[in-house]
Amino acid sequence: MPPYVFFNRDFIPLAEARIGIMTHALHYGTACFEGIRGSQNEDERQVYLFRLKDHYLRLLQSCQIMKITLPYGVDELCQLTEKLVQLSGYQEDIYIRPLAYKSSQAIGVRLHDLEDDLLIYVATLPAYLDTDKGVSCCISTWRRIGDNMIPPRAKITGLYVNSALAKTEAVESGLDEGIMLTHDGHVSEGSGENSFLVTQGRLVTPSASDNILLGITRDSRFVLCQDTGGAIKGAGRVDFFAGHGPKARGFAFKLWESGKLYLLILKFQDGGRI
């Protein structure tokens, strides 16, 4: 069975889906998206979609910021996605990408007087980071974009150039990930994950005011810790150097991303860089 997509308000084979080269979103980043994981249950031979409704609630909130109007509510979007997953026939873990975008074939920087559209596709996607060996990081020289520039709590495609610059800088330096700071020097997040620091038995995470994406996995971590009696300490600033003197050569901490636990290994390099 060929993979299917939802495109131009219909379910069609992926190979038939085409976007014009003048599409506004392609040139100006005028789109918003979600990344939804689906986990295959081998015993039941069924895929379970992670907090599907909450993802679409956030997508519609992003659409409001981008002045994108869709003819679907949350329940309809969930139904479309469930049907697409069934049509695609995957019997493994999957990744779902809904994209709401400015579809006009038009040149000119703006959000108004443009057509809107929606596409959804399903694919397989490996883990964003390698969980087997821990993750080496640097503090990125790229600062996290501020709320009065592009609202970071919306998943806007153009905003992710900020994350791409941080990721590529880290990889080209021989590392796995870059952690971005705010312009005030507060820890914000990685290129594709919220951060949680486990310190002194508490779970510490940057606050919404530190220009983070209000992650759905992040929210789930709060719920799980409350259910199990674990302590969470919200923080506007996460100091990775607390308790580590200037002679330290490196240290490690734990971080969660997309439902997975990573051990991040921070190593000091020349000039005190991590």
135-139/177-181 β-pairing: parallel
Mean pLDDT of 45-65: 95
pLDDT-based confidence at residue 143 (cuts at 50, 70, 90): very high
Summarize pLDDT for 66-122 with one digit per residue, the tens: 999 999 999 999 999 999 999 998 889 999 999 999 999 999 999 999 999 999 999
Residue 273 has pLDDT above 70, yes or no: no
- Among the residue ranges 4-18, 44-58, 134-148, 218-232, the one predicted with the least confidence is 218-232
Strands of the 197-199 sheet, one edge to the other? 197-199, 202-206, 232-235
Per-residue model confidence as pLDDT tens digits over 218-259: 888 777 776 555 556 555 554 555 544 444 444 444 454 444
What φ, ψ does residue 49 adopt, rounded to 5°?
-95, 130
Give the model's pLDDT for residue 230.
Answer: 58
Confidence of residue 149 (pLDDT cuts 50, 70, 90): very high
In what helix (H) or strand (E) does residue 121 lie, and over which residues does it extend?
Answer: strand 116-123
pLDDT, averaged across the chain: 84
135-272 belongs to CATH 3.20.10.10: yes
DSSP string, 175-239: -SEEEEE-TTS-EEEESS----EEETTEEEEE-GGGS----HHHHHHHHHHHHTT--EEEES---
Instruction: Indicate the domain borders of the chain.
Output: 4-123, 135-272
Q: Is the pLDDT of residue 35 over 80?
A: yes
pLDDT of 271 over the 70 cut? no
d(CA 110, CA 131): 41
The closest of 112, 102, 107, 204 to 157, measured between CA atoms, is 102
Tokens representing 241? 């150097």
CATH architecture under which domain 4-123 falls: 2-Layer Sandwich (3.30)
Q: What is the pTM for the complete model shown?
A: 0.85
Compute the average pLDDT of residues 140-156.
94
Asked if residue 60 lies in contact with residue 78, where contact means CB atoms within 8 angstroms, the answer is no
Shortest CA distance to 131 belongs to which of 261, 10, 241? 261
Please report the pLDDT score of residue 261 as a whole number: 46
Q: Which of 58, 29, 42 is nearest to 90 (CA)?
A: 42
- Digit-coded pLDDT (tens) for 173-207: 998 889 899 998 888 998 988 887 777 767 778 88
Question: What per-residue confidence (pLDDT) applies to 204?
Answer: 79
Banded pLDDT at 267 (limits 50, 70, 90)? very low
